């Protein structure tokens, strides 16, 4: 009987009930969506530096080194000499090394000069290796391998010729049209900045800049050797023993041939999360405010509807219904509206993820989750349902306190 009473009541107030459901759905979409985006961004950032123990660069701010060497979100600073790179490569604690030279771009995408170690040792996600979907890794100074987003957005194919430009961001400073490159390979999507990068060899970088003028961004001078750059911007290191990280970091901070900074990527990521924590808290507060407004609308709507339901509730009490029955009807309606709103919000979020997933991957190298509801989201959904149920307590108590005689007495 009670479920029929609740359904009949909701049908008579379907317009106001629909507005409540939409408000709750929007709240759920914002709360869960922001939480998912926050976790996904953190996961993508963390997966970008999987397996890298140290990043060595010229003396500078640790956060800036992380941003330009891994995420391409900042302009590179001074380079470190090739002799230092060779010293790092031969260190007894170093298992593998990946040199990174930056400073050029192609139609807004950063150019990364490196060697075969990049393909062999660079890891992302849960230790996943880079893979080629077309072609091969570069083998010459005039060959280029494209990230998946670069290839997709610019429409390049194997065999196309491209021209690089000096300047990591903004308008090109110098077009290197004297040394065009041929596309020989394309990498599989990774959901990391690798997708947004153009990869060439260190010899290719030296060839377009000249061995003695790499940092200046000038074409090679007659008679200059062009087999390797004089300097690179960073070297990523994998160590034989993870316990040697701190000792090698201290050793490199005292390196006497040139000033160096060695950073631990995981530590800098934690600092980055602390820096962005205020913005995340502000977004969460906004979502909770929207939910609070939706619950207040729910309470006010039920209270407003009580005047029109005095006769209905009085008849229910006359039939022998006690406090529990009245509470069940009112709180049940509130819970039902909240549950429908939660389901509608999750469905809307799932559809939005499905529609935006290809765009997010190609435009921002961001992998959106594919789940309808994650385990970590269950407490939040439970709290929303509980809040929706509690929102019906005040109207339920008010309805119960209406006297039976007052409810049955017609009003003029």
Q: Tell me the three-class secondary structure of 360-406, residue by residue.
A: HHHHHCCCCCCCCCCHHHHHHHHHHHHHHHHCCHHHHHHHHHCCHHH
Domain presence at residue 271? no
227 — alpha (psi -120 to 50), left (phi > 0) or beta? alpha
Closest listed residue to residue 179, CA positions, set 167, 164, 160: 164
Tokens representing 136?
């091969």
* 180, 306: one domain: no
Token pair in block for residue 255: 């390196």
Closest Cα partner for 228 from 242, 243, 214, 216?
Answer: 214
What is the spatial distance between Cα 344 and Cα 45, in angstroms, rounded to a whole number? 30
SS3 annotation, 51-90: CCCEEEEECCCHHHHHHHHCCCCCCCCCCEEHHHHHHHHC
Give pLDDT, residue 7. 66
Residues of the chain short of pLDDT 70, as ranges, are 1-10, 12, 168-173, 210-228, 305-322, 362, 364-365, 402-412
- Compute φ and ψ for 193, nearest 5 degrees: -60, -15
Say whether both 110 and 152 belong to one domain. Answer: yes
Q: Are residues 303 and 362 in the same domain?
A: yes
d(CA 239, CA 258): 22
Number of Cα atoms under 13 Å in the Cβ half of residue 17: 18
Whether residues 249 and 288 fall in one domain: no
- CA dist 11 and 390 (Å) reads 22
Return the pLDDT at 12: 67
Q: Tokens 């990049």 sit at which residue?
A: 118
What's residue 212's pLDDT?
A: 43
Q: Extract the tokens encoding 380.
A: 């939040």
Encode pLDDT of 21-76 as tens digits: 888 898 889 888 888 888 887 777 777 878 899 999 999 999 999 999 998 888 88
The answer on 283 and 404 residing in a single domain is yes
Query: 10 Å Cβ neighbour count for 240?
Result: 13
Q: Is residue 268 part of a domain?
A: no
Whether residue 86 sits in one domain with residue 15:
no
Q: Is residue 269 part of a domain?
A: no
| Containing structural domain, residue 86 | 54-263
3-state secondary structure of 324: helix
244, 382: one domain: no
- Note whether residue 243 is domain-resident: yes
Do 204 and 306 sit in the same domain of this protein?
Answer: no
Please give the angle made by the CA atoms of 365, 167 and 54, to the nearest 5 degrees.
Answer: 60
The two three-digit tokens of residue 35, written as one number: 């939480």
Residues 83 and 224 in one domain: yes
| Residue 270: inside a domain | no
Angle (CA) 187 71 282, round 5°: 125
Other C-beta atoms within 10 Å of 179: how many?
A: 16
Model pLDDT, residue 84: 95
* Residue 314: predicted pLDDT: 66
Assigned domain for 178 exists: yes
Q: Residues 97, 118: contact at Cβ < 8 Å?
A: no
Instruction: Check whether residue 254 and residue 385 sit in a common domain.
Output: no
Give the pLDDT of residue 169: 57
| pLDDT attached to residue 220 | 42
Residue 158, token pair as written in the block:
């194997």
Contact predicate 10/339, CB 8 Å: no
Looking up tokens 């610019």, which residue turns up?
154
| pLDDT number for residue 326 | 74
- Listed residue (324, 323, 325, 313) closest to 1, CA to CA: 325
Q: Tokens for 95?
A: 């298992």
Phi, psi of 124 (to 5 degrees): -140, 165
Total number of domains in the chain = 2
Tell me if 197 is assigned to some domain. Answer: yes
DSSP character at residue 319? T
Strand, coil or helix: what is 94? Answer: strand
Contact 168, 104 (CB under 8 A): yes
> CA-to-CA distance for 104 and 217, rounded, in angstroms?
8
Tokens, residue 70: 């891994």
- Same domain for 167 and 18, yes or no, is no
Among all chains, which residue has been given the structure tokens 């359904």?
Answer: 7
User: Quick one: tokens of 44?
Assistant: 């993508």
Widest CA span in the chain: 107
Q: Are residues 120 and 10 part of one domain?
A: no
Q: Is the residue at 273 inside a domain?
A: no
Among 263, 288, 310, identify where a domain stops.
Answer: 263
Last residue of a domain, one of 240, 263, 286: 263
Give me the residue label for tokens 């950073």: 263
């Amino acid at each position: 009987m009670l479920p029929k009473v609740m359904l009949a009541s909701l049908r008579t107030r379907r317009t106001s009930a629909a507005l409540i459901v939409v408000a709750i759905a929007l709240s759920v979409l914002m709360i869960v969506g922001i939480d998912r985006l926050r976790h996904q961004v953190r996961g993508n950032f963390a997966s970008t530096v999987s397996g890298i123990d140290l990043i060595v660069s010229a003396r500078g701010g640790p956060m800036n080194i992380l941003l330009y060497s891994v995420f391409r979100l900042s302009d590179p600073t001074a380079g470190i000499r090739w002799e230092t790179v060779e010293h790092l490569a031969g260190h007894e604690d170093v298992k593998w090394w990946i040199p990174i030279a930056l400073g050029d771009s192609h139609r807004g995408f950063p150019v990364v000069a490196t060697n075969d170690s990049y393909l062999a040792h660079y890891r992302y996600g849960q230790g996943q290796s880079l893979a080629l979907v077309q072609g091969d890794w570069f083998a010459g100074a005039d060959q280029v391998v494209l990230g998946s987003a670069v290839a997709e957005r610019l429409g390049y194919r194997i065999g196309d010729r491209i021209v690089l430009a000096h300047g990591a961001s903004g308008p090109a400073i110098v077009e290197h049209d004297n040394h065009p490159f041929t596309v020989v390979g394309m990498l599989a999507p990774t959901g990391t900045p690798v997708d947004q990068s153009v990869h060439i060899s260190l010899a290719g970088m030296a060839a377009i800049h000249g061995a003695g003028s790499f940092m200046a961004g000038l074409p090679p001078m007659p008679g200059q050797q062009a087999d390797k750059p004089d300097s690179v911007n960073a070297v990523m290191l994998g160590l034989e023993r993870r316990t040697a990280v701190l000792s090698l970091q201290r050793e490199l901070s005292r390196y006497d041939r040139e000033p160096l900074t060695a950073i631990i990527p995981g530590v800098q990521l934690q600092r980055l999360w602390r820096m962005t924590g205020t913005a995340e808290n502000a977004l969460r507060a906004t979502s909770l405010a929207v939910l609070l407004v939706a619950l207040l609308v729910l309470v006010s709507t039920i209270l407003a509807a009580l005047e029109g339901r005095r006769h209905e509730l009085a008849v229910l009490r006359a039939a022998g219904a006690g406090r529990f029955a009245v509470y069940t009807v009112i709180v049940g309606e509130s819970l039902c509206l909240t549950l429908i709103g939660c389901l509608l919000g999750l469905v809307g979020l799932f559809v939005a993820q499905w529609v935006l997933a290809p765009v997010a991957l190609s435009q921002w190298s961001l992998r959106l989750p594919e789940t309808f509801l994650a385990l970590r989201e269950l407490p939040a959904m439970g709290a929303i349902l509980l809040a929706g149920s509690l929102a019906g307590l005040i109207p339920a108590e008010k309805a119960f306190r209406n006297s039976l005689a007052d409810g049955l007495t017609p009003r003029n």
